Amino acid sequence: MIEDDYELSQILTEYLNKFDIDVIDAEEPYIGLSLLTQHKFDLIILDLTLPGIDGLEVIPKIRKNSSIPIIVSSARDDITDKVIALERGADDYMPKPYDPRELVTRIKTILRRVQKSSEEPRKKSLFELNYEARNIVFQNKLLELTAAEFDILSMLIKHKNSAVSREQLLYESEHIDDNSSIKNIDVMISRIRHKLSNIDKENSYIKPVRGVGYLLTEKV
C-alpha cells in the first residue's frame, strides 16, 4: 500500500489482516516503487496525493515493468482523475471515504479475475516488446528500428486494439522533437509498416483511425 496518511494506512492494514490479506506499507512513492523490485506482490493500493510525485505519475512507472493490479484509493473524486488513472493502467478507483469492507470485496474480486486469467492458456503475441533492451521482436524476428520508431511502435503495442492519437504519439515520444509536424508521425508509421511488411507481406497490422491516429491489432 502506497499511502502517506500513516493513521489511515494502519487502520486499513489491521482491517485487511483480519481477512488474511498481508500488507506492506510505504509512505513515500519511491519507496513503494523500490519495494516492487524486492518483493512479489499480488496487488497495489495507491493513493494519489503523495509527497514528491503525484500518484497519477506513479501508475505508468509501475506499468512500465509490471502488470500487477492497482486499486487507486484517493480523496480526489474528480472524474478527470478517475479517467486518467484508469487510462494509465489502474484496475479500480475508490474515492475516500469508503467502507473497508468494500475494499476487501474489490481486492478479492480483482485477484479472482487475475487468477482465472493466469490459468487460461495464452496465445503468444506476434509482437514482443522489451523496454529495457529497447527492442521489438515481430513474428520471432528482431525489427531494426530508430529510437523514434521504437517509441511509436511500443506505444501502439502498449495500447493494442485501441486508437492512439497522432498527438499522443508525437508528444509522448522521448525521441521526437515536440516542435515536429504531426505529418512526421505519418511518415514514421509508413516506415514501420514497411519494416513489418518485409516480414509479413500478406497482412497489415497498423490501421489508420480517421480523425484520430492509428491502431495496432493482431487480428487480420
pLDDT at 147 over 70: yes
Q: What pLDDT digit, counting tens, does each position of 165-220 carry?
A: 999 999 888 888 877 788 899 999 999 999 999 999 999 999 999 889 999 998 76
pLDDT at 127 over 70: yes
pLDDT at 123 over 70: no
Please provide the average confidence, as pLDDT, over all residues in the chain.
Answer: 91
For the chain, give the percent of residues with pLDDT over 70: 96
Residue 122 banded pLDDT, cuts 50, 70, 90 = low
In this prediction, residues 116-121 reach a mean pLDDT of 65
Q: What pLDDT digit, counting tens, does each position of 73-96 carry?
A: 999 988 999 999 999 999 999 999
pTM, entire model: 0.55
The yes/no answer on whether domain 6-119 falls in CATH 3.40.1190.20 is: no
Residue 103 banded pLDDT, cuts 50, 70, 90 = very high
Which residues, including other chains, have CB under 8 Å from residue 217's CB and lie 6 or more apart? 160, 161, 205, 207
Residue 153 banded pLDDT, cuts 50, 70, 90 = very high
Which secondary structure element, helix H or strand E, spans residue 127, and what is its range?
A: strand 127-130
Cα three-residue angle 114-115-118, rounded to 5 degrees: 85
Give me the CATH topology for the region 127-216: Arc Repressor Mutant, subunit A (1.10.10)
Give domain limits for the chain.
Answer: 6-119, 127-216
pLDDT value at residue 216: 95
Q: What pLDDT digit, counting tens, does each position of 13-47 carry?
A: 999 999 999 999 999 999 999 999 888 899 999 99
Radius of gyration of the chain (CA): 20
Cα three-residue angle 1-90-168, rounded to 5 degrees: 135
Q: CA-CA distance, 192 to 194, in Å (whole number)? A: 5
Q: CA-CA distance, 91 to 134, in Å (whole number)? A: 26
